Structures are given as C-alpha cells and as structure tokens.
Chain A
C-alpha cells in the first residue's frame, strides 16, 4: 500500500456522518448524547431527526440504562460521549444493563487516548479497550481514519449485540479508500511483508505506514495489518502472518495492559509463540500537551514503531 494521505480529518466526524446516514437508512436507529453533541459531531443527526435524538444531560449512567431500555421494543441506540465517560464512568451500567443483558446498544466514544491533548489525564482514557474487551458479548471496534470510522458506524448498526466504537478528537490522515469494504471482525492486511508483522489499530495504522517507509529504507520488509476490530479478534489473520514473519509489533494508543497488544499476545502464546514488542503507553497516566508532543513523550510515535521492529527482529530464533 502506498503512503497516500487524502487529507487530514477527525475520526469523530466520520462517526457523525455515519450516524447521519444511518438516520436515513434505518428508522430504528436512535441517538443519545450526554451534553457533548458538538464534540461528538452528532449535530447533523439531531437536526435531521430531532424525534430520534435524546439529550440526557450530564448523566452518563442514566444514558446507558436508557439505551438498554430502548432496545426493548426494537430501537437501536447509539450513545455518544467521551471515551472516558463511555467506559470507566459507567462500567457497571454497561456490564449489567447492556453486556450481561445482551442489549443491542452501540457505545460510541470520542476523545480516546492521549491525543485529545491539552485537557490532560482526567480525560485521556487509556484503559478503555481493555475494559470493554473483557466484557462478554461486547464487540470492540477501533477504526483507523475518518473513512473507516464512517464505514464502521454503518456496519455496527447491522451487528446484533453491544458494540464499543472508539475514535478520537484530532485530525489525522485519511488513507482508506471510500469504496474499501469494512467487515466487522475481519482484519485488513494493508501490505505484504516477510520480516515482521505490524498490527495496529486506530490512527496508529497511519503511524505504522510511516514506519513501513523508514523500514523499507533499511531493508526490512514488514507486513501491516489494520486490526480495526479488537473483539472478535481475527485470529486467523494474525497466525497466518506471524507464521510467515516469525515476530510481531503491536501499536495502539492505549495502555500496554489489556489492549490490542495483549489480545494479540494471547492468541500467539496459545497457538504460535513468537517474539512480540508493544508500542503502547507503559502503565502511566498522560498529561496536558499537544497530541504530537504526547505521542512522542509517551512513546507511541513513528520512531517508536521503527525501534520496536528493530528490537523484535533480533529476538527471532535463528532459522536453520
């Protein structure tokens, strides 16, 4: 895959556009927001379908319960708030009223990770993927760019069951084609390679594409997988690639504990042990700063991926 940026856009706007289109496509789709309509880009839906938009105020626990109850009678609720308030604040409500109760609720979360920037650690949730993938019945989706967030928003409406959809605040490169398919639970292999498997989610897929270029220049052939669905995880895609390359680097804007890297490690340790390096935040809270400064300081930028690849390759057992 070539390194083509069609232009920077925020992934939350992909969600907003997807939701607006869903309003037209599916009369059962309803949207709930806890006082962050503008931040979540839900205004277009609100304007077009006011009778299906529910402003709940700053009351996220209530929002999750209402969403669960709305499914009784056939609605498909999409909740919108920041990732922190979509997960850690309301974990028990999601656990009991949504996941355990098998409710068809789509929990849509913006401003995930460090890159919401200056607001600082109170809002920079880095544990959400781990929390949500631990819940039985819950699907976890982390799309890579604007276009994929739009596609994922459309796709999860057709998946019966609870879904956590994670996206972000900053403008990041858009590189996925408008006509590219999105299948929940099926990873996209973006480049073929032989020396190392790179598995990334969210905007770390773009960072991995940048890393790929640097790696090619030093003669390393990397296979890049966009793991947009962390649960259910495409185990076959991981095993097929790592069987070929013999090692893996995972890249995510999340804690090292519990995220994509751990999901991949669990597959490999059970079925095909291989050296792995994590590009992730190492058991620490974030802080205020620009998104780029934070990515650099907390070790999840392009050079960190390149360095991790170099480290993992030398750990590969010698092939006889």
Chain B
C-alpha cells in the first residue's frame, strides 16, 4: 500500500509526462491540486469506479469547473481504476477520450459535464445538489474552481443562489494559488477578501492547506459535522502552483506551458516513481 504522499508523487509524474508528450496542457495548477485530488479520490469521496454512472445516485458527485487542470483529474481517475492507466498516454491526442478539457461526449468514466470555459461548474453542481435533495440522496456534491476563475460573473449568480436556498449538501473549493495566465490574481483582478465575500453571500467558509492531508481531513470532518445546517460550504484551499517541482513554483509561468525534455527530466528527478509510470 502507498501513502497519499507517495501516490501524489506518482500523480505529479503522470501530469508532467502527459503534458510533455503533447507539448501542451496545464501543468502548474494540476501539480498544485495533486494532493487535493489524491486525498479526495483515495480517501474522501464515495464512488463506484468500475460501475460509473452518469446519474451518480448513492455516490458523491465531483465537478471540476477549472477544466484546464484535467491532467491531475485524469491521472487520479486512472490510478483509481475508472479506466486503464495506459490510456493516460493518449491525452490531447486525436480520437482520445482524454480531451484537453474534460468532456462527456467520448464517454470517459468519471466525468459528468464538460468544463473549460470558466465559471460554469458551480451552477452545474447546484443543479445536482438540488436533484440529490429531490432524490433523498444524502451524498455530497463538490465543485473545484480556480481563484482566477471566480472573476467570472456566473460564479456570483451561483453563489447568491446557493446562499439564498441554503444548499447545505454542496461543497465548493477554491484553488487559492493567486496565479492566473497573465500573472498574479491580485494584480490582474483582485478577488480578496475571499472569506468575507462568500460569507456575505450566505456561505459557511473554511480554509485549508491543499498540501497537508491532515488539514484536509480535519476540514472535511468539520464539514461533516455541520451537515444540514442550511448553509453551502466553501473551502478556500491554499496551494502553490507547480507544487513538487522547484523551478515550477513561485511563478505563473507554468500555468499553461509544458516542459521540454530536459525540463521534464529535471522535474521527474524531484518526484519518486511509486506506482510505476504509465
């Protein structure tokens, strides 16, 4: 058995090798969210990887709104058995089910809505949360968004709806790394104060360290205890873009650029191959 940290190391290797193979994709945010995805899919979420169903009844439903960090999602889904690990080698290639941004038309198990055009995922998550209530299905609905993404207006329509309707089976997570394509979020179009904004819209706000499994565990436990209190949950998750590769951290440069072969080797030398490369 592998620890979550060991699995995250393999996932980071997958991400780098996937984007390197096609000289495109978004490694920065993917690396930054690797620990979170590993925690979610290896410990937290309730799902049926082999019997994936679009309806997700009796399961937790997870939406990735910032679809450009698809490499981390694909890696974790494959490592959890939603599809063959070897399929990771098809990422962004012609006729692949692993589209640049997640899609459902090619029937990749684990994905329930297309994302990539930003700002849409939270609304979709609201819809599923409402349906879960109608179906008397007590599982959670999650939505991960980027911090730059919340510059989109639709996010605030969704924020207002959830707060007004007391949607307490919805957990939204913001990947708070303060980076977006053109630079620092605080410079491009500041989004602070995050906690006060969401509280003002009627949400219960938590903060957690997206690279510390015990922090994630502790916040999710608190949330479990606050179920049914008529408040949607927002987790502001502090991460570092490029986490795990020293030269990819502390900059927005690796948001959407793939490493060349030399950079790939250097990056991989910092990450242990634990489960075995695809």
List the interface of chain A (C-beta within 8 A of B): 30, 51-52, 54, 56-57, 59, 61-75, 77, 92-93, 95-97, 100-103
Q: Write the nearest CB–CB distance from A57 to chain B, whole angstroms.
A: 7
Q: Does B94 have its Cβ within 8 Å of any Cβ on chain A?
A: no
A70 to B123, CA, bound (A): 10
Total interface residues in chain B, CB < 8 Å: 39
A10 to B103, CA, bound (A): 39
Q: Write the nearest CB–CB distance from A181 to chain B, whole angstroms.
A: 32
Q: Does B160 have its Cβ within 8 Å of any Cβ on chain A?
A: yes
Determine the chain A residues whose CB is within 8 A of the CB of B127 once the complex forms: 65-72, 77
Does the CB pair A70–B113 fall under 8 Å?
no
Q: Write the nearest CB–CB distance from A204 to chain B, whole angstroms.
A: 34
Known contacts A56-B161, A66-B130, A93-B154; is-contact A73 B55 (Cβ 8 Å): yes
Does the CB pair B160–A57 fall under 8 Å?
yes
Known contacts A66-B124, A66-B127; is-contact A73 B57 (Cβ 8 Å): yes
Does the CB pair B128–A62 fall under 8 Å?
no
Does the CB pair A75–B131 fall under 8 Å?
yes
A56 to B157, CA, bound (A): 9
Known contacts A51-B134, A59-B160, A75-B134; is-contact A69 B114 (Cβ 8 Å): no
Known contacts A57-B160, A59-B157, A101-B114; is-contact A70 B131 (Cβ 8 Å): yes
A93 to B127, CA, bound (A): 14
Given contacts A66-B130, A101-B104, A102-B104, 17 further A-B contacts (CB under 8 A): A51-B134, A59-B161, A61-B123, A62-B154, A62-B158, A62-B161, A65-B120, A65-B127, A66-B123, A69-B126, A71-B127, A72-B127, A73-B57, A73-B132, A73-B134, A95-B117, A101-B113
Q: Does B234 have its Cβ within 8 Å of any Cβ on chain A?
A: no
Does the CB pair B154–A65 fall under 8 Å?
yes
Does the CB pair A72–B113 fall under 8 Å?
yes
Determine the chain A residues whose CB is within 8 A of the CB of B267 once the complex forms: none
Q: Does B16 have its Cβ within 8 Å of any Cβ on chain A?
A: no
Determine the chain B residues whose CB is within 8 A of the CB of A101 once the complex forms: 103-105, 112-114
List the interface of chain B (C-beta within 8 A of A): 54-57, 61, 63, 103-105, 112-117, 119-132, 134-135, 137, 153-154, 157-158, 160-161, 164
Does the CB pair B128–A96 fall under 8 Å?
no
Does the CB pair B122–A65 fall under 8 Å?
yes
Known contacts A61-B157, A62-B154, A62-B161; is-contact A74 B131 (Cβ 8 Å): yes
Determine the chain A residues whose CB is within 8 A of the CB of B113 once the complex forms: 68-69, 72, 97, 101, 103
Does the CB pair A61–B153 fall under 8 Å?
yes
Kindly list the 7 A-B residue pairs having the minimum CB-CB distance in the complex, ordered from nearest: A69-B127, A65-B123, A73-B131, A62-B157, A69-B124, A59-B157, A70-B127
A299 to B119, CA, bound (A): 41
Q: A57, A92, A101: which has the most chain B beta carbons within 10 Å?
A: A101
Determine the chain A residues whose CB is within 8 A of the CB of B57 once the complex forms: 73-74
Determine the chain A residues whose CB is within 8 A of the CB of B54 once the complex forms: 72
List 27 A–B pairs whose Cβ atoms lie within 8 Å, in order of A's numbering.
Answer: A30-B134, A57-B157, A62-B157, A62-B161, A64-B123, A65-B126, A66-B123, A66-B124, A66-B126, A68-B124, A69-B127, A69-B128, A72-B54, A72-B113, A72-B124, A72-B127, A73-B128, A73-B137, A75-B131, A75-B134, A93-B123, A96-B115, A97-B124, A100-B104, A100-B114, A101-B103, A101-B114
